[in-house]
Amino acid sequence: MVTQTDNLNVQATDESTTPRALVCDFRPGLEGVPAVQSSISYVDGKAGILEYRGIPIEELATRSTFLETSFLLIWGYLPTEAELAEFQHDIQFHRRLKFRIRDMMKCFPESGHPMDALQASAAALGLFYSRRALLDPSYIRAAVIRLLAKIPTMTAAFQMIRKGNDPIQPRDDLDYAANFLYMLSEREPDPLAARVFDTCLTLHAEHTINASTFSALVTASTMTDPYAVVASAVGTLAGPLHGGANEEVIEMLEAIGSVEAVEGFVDRAIAEKSRIMGFGHRVYKVKDPRATILQQLAEQLFDSLGHDRHYDIALELERVVADRLGHKGIYPNVDFYSGLVYRRLGIPTDLFTPVFAIARVSGWLAHWREQLAANRIFRPTQLYGGEHGVHYVPIDERGPVQLAP
Ligand code: SDX
C-alpha cells in the first residue's frame, strides 16, 4: 500500500547529475535562482533601489509618463519626440475592441472576477491575431501596440457590462490614463487624478522576474503568440500573494476598522502565523521604493479630493508591523498603499489587480521581446520522490488507501 509520507527517495532524474549536486541546487520557488539574463530592470532589495533600463524609478515617476516608460522598457531607449508621438498615436488608434470580444464579455457572469474576464479576453485576442510571425519586427510592434491599447479597454468594458451597461467607447482626445478613467465613468477625470493614475501605471510597469513575468517567459519560450503570453501572465498576477494583494489590503484595512484596533490585529496575525497583506517581499527587505512614492501620491489626492481615514489605519499598521516584524525585513510593498490611491480615484476594489495588469503588460512585453532574441524553451528538472517498480492492481483486489493527514 502506497502512503503519501514515504521518505523522499531522492534520485537524479538527469543521469549525468549526481543526486548531491541536484539536492544542493534545489531552491523552493526558485528563490535566488537566476532564470534569465536581462537588462530591462534592476532591483536592490537591501538598498530599496528600482531602476528601469538604469533610470531610477523616482525620476521616471516624476518626469516621464507611462507610455514613454513603456517605450523605454520595451525598445530599450527613451524615444525621440517623433517616436513617442507615433507610439501614442498608434495606441490611441487601436484602443477599440472587436464587437465579437464585447459580445463575448456580455456572456460572462456579472459575479465573475474582473481578472478572469481580462484573462479570457486577452486570450481571445489571439483568435483575431493568431499569426505567429515572431521573427517579423512589424508583427512584434503590432502586438505590443494592440495589447497596450486594448487591455485598458477590456478592463473598463467588463466593468460597464457587469453593471448591465454598454461599454463606453475610448476617446482619442484623451491620453492613456485619462481615457481609462473616462471609460470607467463616462466623465473626464480631474487632471490631478489622471496624472496620479499615470504615475501609478509607471510604478507598476516592471519588476524583474516576478511570478507573472516568469510565467510570461515560460509561455513565450514555447514560441506561442503574445496574446497567450499575456493571458498566462494575467492568470499568475491574479493570486493574492502577487498582484491580488492590493485588493486584499483594502479589505484588511476595512476589517481592522480603526487605528486603535491595529496592534491587536497585528499581534493576532503573528500568533496565527497569517500573512499581513501588502507587507513583505521576496527581494525587498526594506520598504519598497514604490510604496514610498504611492504614499506621496495618496497624500496629494487626499489634499485635493478629501481624506480617507483608512490611510490613518495604514500608517499605524506600517508602524506596528515595522516594530514587530522589521527585524525580519517585513515592510510595505507596492500593494500596500496603491489601493488607497485607486479608491480615492473611484476605481472599484476588484479592479485594482486588473489595473496592476494594465501597467505590467509593458514589463511582460519587454521580457517577451528580450526572450525572443535569445530563446531557449524552459524545461527545468526535479527531485523525484516517488516509487519505482510499482505494478498495476486490478480494481477488485484493491484495498482502501490511507491518505496522510
Ligand atoms: C508583488 O516579486 C515581485 O517583484 C512581486 C511584485 C511585483 O512588482 O511584481 O513586487 C508585486 O507581488 C508584491 C507582493 C504582494 N503580496 C503580498 O503583499 C502578500 C503578503 N506577502 C507575503 O505573502 C510574502 O511576503 C511574499 C509572498 C510577498 C514573499 O514571500 P517569501 O519571499 O516567500 O517570504 P517567506 O514566505 O519566505 O517569509 C519569510 C518570513 C516568514 O517567517 P518565518 O517562517 O521565517 O518565521 O517572513 C514572514 C514569513 O512568515 N512573512 C510575513 C509576511 N511575508 C513574509 N509575515 C507576515 N506577513 C507577511 N506579509
Write the residue with the smallest CA distance to atom 42 of ligand 1: 328
| pLDDT tens readout for residues 236-283 | 999 999 999 999 999 999 999 999 999 999 999 999 999 999 999 999
At residue 10 the predicted structure's pLDDT band, cuts being 50, 70 and 90, is very low
- Average pLDDT score over residue span 320-338: 97
Ligand 1 centroid, distance to 366 Cα (angstroms): 25
Amino acid at 221: S
Q: Of the candidates 267, 291, 265, which has an alpha carbon nearest to the alpha carbon of residue 279?
A: 291
- Average pLDDT score over residue span 310-339: 97
What pLDDT sits at residue 341?
97
Least confident range from 6-10, 155-159, 228-232: namely 6-10
What pLDDT sits at residue 7?
38
132 CB near ligand 1 (under 6 Å): no
Residue 90 is among the residues annotated as catalytic for this protein:
no
What pLDDT sits at residue 132?
83
What pLDDT sits at residue 77?
98
184 CB near ligand 1 (under 6 Å): no
Locate the ligand 1 atom nearest the alpha carbon of residue 206 and give its number: 8
The beta-carbon contacts of 49-57 under 8 Å, at least 24 apart in sequence, are 49/289, 50/207, 50/289, 50/290, 52/205, 52/206, 53/77, 57/202, 57/203, 57/289, 57/290, 57/293
280 CB near ligand 1 (under 6 Å): yes
**Residue 3 pLDDT > 50:** no
The model's pTM is 0.93
| pLDDT tens readout for residues 165-175 | 999 999 999 99
At residue 16 the predicted structure's pLDDT band, cuts being 50, 70 and 90, is very low
Let me know how long the chain is: 405
Q: Which residues pair with 384 in a beta bridge?
A: 11
| pLDDT tens readout for residues 128-154 | 987 788 999 999 999 999 999 999 999
Ligand 1 centroid, distance to 281 Cα (angstroms): 4
- Average pLDDT score over residue span 200-222: 98
Measured N-to-C along each axis, helices 114-128 and 226-237 cross at an angle, to the nearest 10 degrees, of: 170
Ligand 1 centroid, distance to 123 Cα (angstroms): 29
Quote the CA–CA distance of 308 and 348 in Å, as a whole number.
15
244 CB near ligand 1 (under 6 Å): no
- Average pLDDT score over residue span 13-32: 69
**Residue 9 pLDDT > 50:** no
Quote the CA–CA distance of 199 and 177 in Å, as a whole number.
9
- Average pLDDT score over residue span 337-355: 97
The answer to whether 211 and 236 have CB atoms below 8 angstroms apart is: yes
- Average pLDDT score over residue span 101-113: 97
DSSP category for residue 164: T
Quote the CA–CA distance of 60 and 41 in Å, as a whole number.
13
Please, what is the average pLDDT of the chain?
A: 93
Please report which residue ranges of 221-308 form alpha helices under DSSP H: 226-237, 245-256, 262-271, 289-305
What pLDDT sits at residue 4?
34
| pLDDT tens readout for residues 40-57 | 999 999 999 999 999 999
Locate the ligand 1 atom nearest the alpha carbon of residue 210 and give its number: 2
How much of the chain, in percent, has pLDDT values that exceed 70?
Answer: 94
Q: Kindly provide the b/e burial profile for residues 183-194, where b requires at least 16 CB atoms within 10 angstroms of the residue's own CB.
A: bbeeeebeeebb
Show the cell assigned to 102. 464585447
- Average pLDDT score over residue span 121-131: 90
Residue 312 is among the residues annotated as catalytic for this protein:
no
What pLDDT sits at residue 12?
47
Q: β-strands 383-384, 11-12: how paired?
A: antiparallel
At residue 402 the predicted structure's pLDDT band, cuts being 50, 70 and 90, is confident
Write the residue with the smallest CA distance to atom 1 of ligand 1: 242
What pLDDT sits at residue 19?
58
Q: Phi first, then psi: give them for residue 24, nearest 5 degrees.
A: -65, -30
